[in-house]
Amino acid sequence: MSILVLAEHHDGQLSPATAHVVAAAQQIGGDIDVLVAGENVAAVAEAATKLDGITRVRVADNAVYAHQLAEPLGALLAALADDYSHVLAPASTTGKNVLPRLAALKGVSQLSDVIGVESVDTFRRPIYAGNAIATVQSADPLKVITVRTSAFEAVAEGNSAPIEAVDTVVDNALSAFVGEELAQSERPELGAARVVISGGRGMGSGENFQLLEGIADKLGAAIGASRAAVDAGFVPNDMQVGQTGKIVAPELYIAVGISGAIQHLAGMKDSKVIVAINKDEEAPIFQVADYGLVADLFEALPELEQKL
Amino acid sequence: MKVLVAVKRVIDYNVKIRVKPDNSDVDLTNVKMAMNPFCEIAVEEAVRLKERGVASEVVAVTVGPKAAQEQLRTALALGADRAIHVETDEKVESLAVAKLLQKVVDEEQPQLVILGKQAIDTDNNQTGQMLAALTGLPQGTFASEVKVEGDKLRVTREIDGGLQTVELSLPAIVTTDLRLNEPRYAKLPDIMKAKKKPLATKTPAELGVEVASKVTLLKVEPPAERQGGIKVGSVDELVDKLKNEAKVIS
Ligand SMILES: Cc1cc2nc3c(=O)[nH]c(=O)nc-3n(C[C@H](O)[C@H](O)[C@H](O)COP(=O)(O)OP(=O)(O)OC[C@H]3O[C@@H](n4cnc5c(N)ncnc54)[C@H](O)[C@@H]3O)c2cc1C
Ligand SMILES: Cc1cc2nc3c(=O)[nH]c(=O)nc-3n(C[C@H](O)[C@H](O)[C@H](O)COP(=O)(O)OP(=O)(O)OC[C@H]3O[C@@H](n4cnc5c(N)ncnc54)[C@H](O)[C@@H]3O)c2cc1C
């Protein structure tokens, strides 16, 4: 087996997601290469060399790969894929954007959001918003897989793998990057945080999310939201937790003013401990909460912040 | 310009599914089916393009069993002009769906193809990207805004860190995210009119596509059931439990 892991990176930094995908690759077994594709990514490549269990880091550093647009990145991966039995990427918006493109270019299927490795060709993945877990076996010569990073413990960083340049350069006349609006936050990334506190429609407004901030500061938590809170314009879309948002599995998840729709549960029900604060004691969120507090959030949150 | 919209028949999003006792699959007997929510958004976007005079014709296409014609009629009631049904009772997975759609694209030559970003049954999030690869076209996935500007398409995409805007050459493939628009409801007169709109049927064999997959479903299991926990009476009790019982805060 030889496995290519597509590194996830933003703003010159290797994202923690990559170490989780390498862990999934280790469970498959074989030589593991990490591909860093982008523009001016020397620092990212350097960071990737430390990941335990990898054989080498391959670097495609060229302006055409800037912002990791799907068209050039898909073509690059397709050019490299013949050396590999598996290509893996995190089930991030980058991975989900490009891996199906690679798979189709190679005429193979793609397995999305894998949460378990049974063998080199058999994997477990959630379907129906996580309400069923499918075990699937692929007979394709190349397995193209996105990995749900919360399902695999990150590998440690004690390695010093060699770096090799990839000089494949592809053309891209199809797409161009125009701009980006990225949320600036000092807080940990939602997908990597040990504690997540999320607000729903019950928060009532964007300003009221400040009630969560004091608590998040004390707990070192990331802040999330339900789709209703995002749709109402309280907070930006990148904070959405759920079937169609981020999937998180922190040690502690605190849901505030969230009813517990299955689409929201799909994004957080693998958390180790779940706390729900809701004024409706019948809210379905209490069915999955380890600790439920029936209370008005406008009273409970200030008190909680003070007592932590 | 002509817009092609791919719609999928899936379980209604309100239905809680059950796994069959023999673990062969989920049990879909007698469950309510509907158009995939992301596909409703795709249809809505196409119809709005037509209402704004940008699109000249909206063609809806589905791949699925006979019953999937219900979803095509829904698309027609929402404003699509005509429909194409690629009829098959096989379980067609994303790559095969994309190959079939590629043939439809070859025949119809649309300037824009809009798909949902993911189907809420398999949660694959693949078909649009695969279709883009097979047709050699650019892709604007997870779109929250789509603007036609001359011979280019500007797509704002929902990405993990926020929003990204890309410019694509046309023809192009777009997949919809939730906030692209809010789909309308079909009105009764439109539902009646939709019954008379043209609906063509084709088979995978006629399109020359082999739908068999190399991926086998070995089993389907329910997820580990979470035990409901306890209700605490006060914030003090909550803090105490988190510190001393769950030990997740210090
Ligand atoms: C295709 C599709 C995909 C979706 N994907 C997602 C997804 O990824 N993530 C997601 O979250 N949703 C998703 N949804 C939406 C989901 O179905 C729900 O509509 C949404 O999760 C509801 O958000 P909510 O719990 O904040 O709002 P509501 O259901 O309105 O609940 C608000 C809660 O706040 C409580 N509350 C109100 N005021 C107070 C107060 N003062 N103190 C305490 N509690 C209070 C209420 O009792 C209520 O339980 C999706 C839906 C569809 C159709
Ligand atoms: C009753 C039933 C049971 C099934 N069981 C299985 C199974 O056990 N294993 C298995 O691998 N597959 C199964 N399938 C097939 C599977 O559900 C999907 O059709 C296939 O995997 C396509 O991927 P997706 O829908 O997840 O695509 P996604 O990439 O998630 O869908 C994105 C978008 O692609 C478009 N699209 C997808 N499918 C179609 C379509 N058929 N027609 C038109 N547009 C479409 C839509 O715009 C959709 O929003 C089953 C299908 C049915 C109807």
Q: What is the pLDDT of residues A33-91, one digit of tens each?
A: 999 999 999 999 999 999 999 999 999 999 999 999 999 999 999 999 999 999 999 99
Contact B229 A102 (CB under 8 A): no
Q: Is B31 on the interface with A (CB under 8 A)?
A: no
Contact B223 A67 (CB under 8 A): no
Check if the beta carbon of residue A105 is closer than 8 Å to that of residue B133.
Answer: yes
Q: Could you tell me the pLDDT band of residue A122, with boundaries at 50, 70 and 90? A: very high
Percentage above 70 pLDDT, chain A: 100
Contact A237 B169 (CB under 8 A): no
C-alpha–C-alpha distance, residues A155 and A16, integer Å: 10
Tell whether A157 and A210 lie within a shared domain.
no
Tell whether A25 and A118 lie within a shared domain.
yes
Tell whether A12 and A82 lie within a shared domain.
yes
- Per-residue pLDDT, A120: 97
Tell whether A150 and A232 lie within a shared domain.
no
Tell whether A204 and A138 lie within a shared domain.
no
Q: Is B215 on the interface with A (CB under 8 A)?
A: yes
Percentage above 90 pLDDT, chain A: 91
The interface pTM score, or ipTM, of the predicted complex is 0.91
First to last CA, chain A: 49
Rounded to the nearest whole angstrom, what is the distance from the C-alpha of residue B38 to the centroid of ligand 2?
13
Using the 8-state DSSP alphabet, how is residue B196 labeled? T
Could you give the 3-state DSSP secondary structure of residue A252? strand
Q: Tens of pLDDT along B21-54?
A: 999 999 988 899 999 999 999 999 999 999 999 9
Domains present along chain B, CATH in parentheses = 2-220 (3.40.50.620)
- Report which of B58, B26, B25, B54 is spatially closest to residue B39, judged by C-alpha positions: B58
Tell whether A154 and A200 lie within a shared domain.
no
Q: Kindly report the nearest CA distance between residue B118 and chain A, in angstroms.
A: 8
Q: Is B145 on the interface with A (CB under 8 A)?
A: no
- Per-residue pLDDT, A131: 87
C-alpha–C-alpha distance, residues B202 and B88, integer Å: 9
Does B141 sit in the ligand 2 pocket, CB within 6 Å?
Answer: no
- Per-residue pLDDT, B250: 83
C-alpha–C-alpha distance, residues B51 and B184, integer Å: 13
Q: Could you tell me the pLDDT band of residue B79, with boundaries at 50, 70 and 90? A: very high
Summary mean pLDDT of chain A: 96
Rounded to the nearest whole angstrom, what is the distance from the C-alpha of residue B93 to the centroid of ligand 2?
6
- Per-residue pLDDT, A191: 82
Q: Could you tell me the pLDDT band of residue A222, with boundaries at 50, 70 and 90? A: very high
Tell whether A130 and A229 lie within a shared domain.
no
Which amino acid belongs to residue A132? A
Per-residue pLDDT at A182 exceeds 90: no
CB pairs under 8 A between A and B: 254
The lowest-confidence range among A40-54, A79-93, A235-249, B231-245 is A235-249
Q: Is B192 on the interface with A (CB under 8 A)?
A: no
Q: Kindly report the nearest CA distance between residue B192 and chain A, in angstroms.
A: 32
Tell whether A21 is covered by a domain.
yes
Contact B166 A177 (CB under 8 A): yes
Tell whether A161 and A45 lie within a shared domain.
yes
Token pair in block for residue B71: 């979803």
B163 beta partners: A181, B158
Tell whether A184 is covered by a domain.
no
Q: Could you tell me the pLDDT band of residue B92, with boundaries at 50, 70 and 90? A: very high
Per-residue pLDDT at B160 exceeds 90: no
Tell whether A213 and A143 lie within a shared domain.
no
Rounded to the nearest whole angstrom, what is the distance from the C-alpha of residue A261 to the centroid of ligand 2?
23
- Report which of A53, A48, A59, A46 is spatially closest to residue A28, judged by C-alpha positions: A53
Q: Nearest chain A Cα to B164, which residue?
A: A180
Helices A70-80, B127-135: axis angle to 10 degrees equals: 80
Per-residue pLDDT at A244 exceeds 90: no
B249 CB-side CA count, 13 A = 25
From the list B16, B228, B236, the residue facing A307 with the nearest CB is B236
Check if the beta carbon of residue B36 is closer than 8 Å to that of residue B10.
Answer: yes
- Give the residue-averaged pLDDT of A269-276: 94
Number of folded domains that form chain A? 2
Q: By residue range, what is the domain housing residue A262?
A: 190-307
- Per-residue pLDDT, A239: 95
- Per-residue pLDDT, A255: 98
Task: Report which ligand 2 atom has the smallest distance to the Cα of B126.
Answer: 29
Which residue, chain included where needed, has tokens 């409706």? A280
Percentage above 70 pLDDT, chain B: 100
B54 CB-side CA count, 13 A = 17
- Per-residue pLDDT, B227: 78
Does B143 sit in the ligand 2 pocket, CB within 6 Å?
Answer: no
